[in-house]
Structure 1
C-alpha cells in the first residue's frame, strides 16, 4: 500500500493564497491547517477543501510548524507555506515516489520564487532547494522530524538520507512592493535576534560601518552581478537592492537592541 501523506500548513490571513495551495495538494491523504487568528476568509477556505483545522495562538515559526506536524498521522509529511503551490509535475513526482520505494528519508524541493509576478531565475533565487517532504520518523526509535527552534529561516532537523526531487514548488512570495517591504521589516527584526545570539554586535563604529554599509554592498554585488541577478530585469534589480537592505537592517536593529540594553543598566 502507498504510505499515507499528510500536508501541514500554518496560516494567518492567507485568503489570497490558501485556495491555490490547497488545490495543489488534493492528492494527499490528509491536510492539516493550523491557524493563529485569521480575521479574513482563511478558515472558510480551509474548510471548503476539507482540511483538518486547528486554532493555535502564534508561538513562532518553528513552534507553529511543529504543532502542525504533531497533528499529522501520515508516514510522510509535506510541510508547505500558505503562499506555495505544487506544480502538476511535482504532484505527479511525489505521488509516484510514495507509490514506489523511496530511497531517502527526506526530500528537498526546488522552489521557483516569484517577485512582483516575475520568476527570479538568477542571483541565487533558483533552484533554492528547501527540505519539505520527509518521514515523520526516519528510523525506529528516532525522534520525530521537527523544525529547529530559531526566530526565522527555520529548518527541519531529521536523521537519515536526503535527496532532491526534480520538479518545482512555486513560491508566490511578494506580489507587491508593499508586501515585500512589510516582510523586510518583520524578518529583519527576527534576523536581528539571531545576530545577537551569535554575538555579532560589536559596538565599534568600524564594525557597524562594515555590517550596515559594506556587507550589504558586497551582498548586492555578489547576487546582482556575480550571480547574474541582473538578468531578471527591473524586478531583479529591486529584489537584490532590497535584499541587501535586509542585511543592513538586521545588523542595525541588533546594534540598537544591544545599545538600549546597555544604556538602561
Structure 2
C-alpha cells in the first residue's frame, strides 16, 4: 500500500526556518523537499529529518510546488512553505483524520500569520484559509502563465469536495522589519509587472493620483479601522501602514516603468 501522507516543501536558503517546519510534520510517512541550490545548511537540515531532497533550478512557485507534488507517493499531500509549521492541535487533527477515510478531497487550513512575532488576528489577516491538504490525484498549483515567478498568490485547483480543519497553520512570516520591507519592495516590483500586463499604468493625471495616493490611503483605513487592525497593537499599525506603502509602490513602479523619462 502507498504511504498515507506525503509533505511537499520547496526551499531556498531556509536554514533559519526549515527545522521548525520539519519537526512539526515528523509524523508524516514521507517528506519531499525541492531545493533550488541553497548555499546555507538547508539541505543538511532536510536530510537530518529524513527528507528526500531534489535539486532543481527555480521555475516559479507554481511549477516548483507541482514538481514537489509529482514526487510524492502518499495518498494525501500536505504542501507547506518553509516558514510555516503545524500547531500541535492541527498535527493531532490531521493524524486522526486521514486514517478515517475522510469525505472531502481537499482541506483548507486556517493560517495564523505572525508579524514581528505577534499573531495578527484582525485587519483581514485571520483566519486566512489556505488549501494545503489534498488527495494527491485531486489537485495541483496554478498561476499566471505570464508570471511564473510570482512571489505569492499561486493557487491550488482541485476536483472534488472541500472542507476546513479546525486548527491553525502557523506562518512565521516576517520576524524583522528589514525582512518585511525587503519583501514588499520585491513584491511591489512584481506586482507592477502584473499591473502593466493588465494595462493599469496610471496614464492619466487623475489615475496616477488615485492609484498612488488614494488607493493606499483607503487600503490602510479599511484594514486598520473598519477591519479592526488597530486591535493588534503597534505591530498591527506598522503592518497596515507599510502594506499601504506597498500598494503605492507597485502603482508608482508600473507608472515609472512605462513612462520614458522626459528631457530636461
Q: Normalised by the size of structure 2, how large is the TM-score?
A: 0.93
Secondary structure (helix, strand or coil) at the match of 2:259 reads: helix
1:147 aligned onto 2:142:
yes
What is the number of residues matched between the two proteins? 257
Superposition deviation, residue 2 in structure 1:
9.0
- Cα RMSD (Å): 1.7
Secondary structure (helix, strand or coil) at the match of 2:15 reads: coil
Which residue pairs with 1:50 in the alignment? 50
Which residue pairs with 1:141 in the alignment? none
Superposition deviation, residue 130 in structure 1:
0.7
Deviation per CA, 1:128-156, whole angstroms, max 9, x where unpaired? 11111111223xxxxx5233345231111
Mapping of 1:1-265 within 5 angstroms? 4-138=4-138, 144-149=139-144, 150=147, 151=150, 152-260=152-260
Q: Distance in 1 between matches of 2:191 and 2:128?
A: 19
Judging changes above 3 Å, is the alpha-carbon distance between structure 1 residues 136 and 257 closer, same or farther for their aligned structure 2 residues? Answer: farther
* Residue ranges of structure 2 left out of the alignment (5+ in a row): none
Q: Distance in 2 between matches of 1:79 and 1:181?
A: 26
Contact 1:3–1:99 (CA under 8 A) maintained in structure 2: no
* Residue ranges of structure 1 left out of the alignment (5+ in a row): 139-143
Contact 1:3–1:98 (CA under 8 A) maintained in structure 2: no
Q: Normalised by the size of structure 1, how large is the TM-score?
A: 0.92
Contact 1:84–1:171 (CA under 8 A) maintained in structure 2: yes
Contact 1:65–1:147 (CA under 8 A) maintained in structure 2: no
Q: Distance in 2 between matches of 1:195 and 1:3?
A: 43
Q: Distance in 2 between matches of 1:192 and 1:236?
A: 25
